[in-house]
Amino acid sequence: MNKKIYLFCSAGMSTSLLASKMQKVADQHKLPVEVEAFPHGKIEDIVKTENPDCILLGPQVKYLYNETVAKFSDLKTPIAVIDSQAYGLMDGEKVLKHAVMLIKKNK
């Protein structure tokens, strides 16, 4: 069963690029994950329908972190803000490793 790592940011453009880089790294390492990016306006619908295993917020929407944690605390899904340096460098491997670590810690 694939683990769902979902990224949310203001528009979803640069985050989509990062998500595809993360997916490429996951595929190279044969990791059973599905990485997707969405605009933060859709976070509630997507979290309720898709039940992601990890929610990552882009640095541009880190102000939504506390609200997001409060809203979804009952789901026990790890939520984190993507490291702004890794985001700026579009370092899919670093962000993927962080997400995988969050999922493992959450078990």
Residue 9 annotated to the active site: yes
Of 7, 9, 55, 61, catalytic: 9
**Exposure pattern of 54-78 as b/e (b: 16+ CB <10 Å)?**
bbbbbbbbeebeeebeeebeeeebb
Please give the distance of CA 107 from its chain centroid, rounded to a whole number: 17
Residues carrying an active site annotation: 9
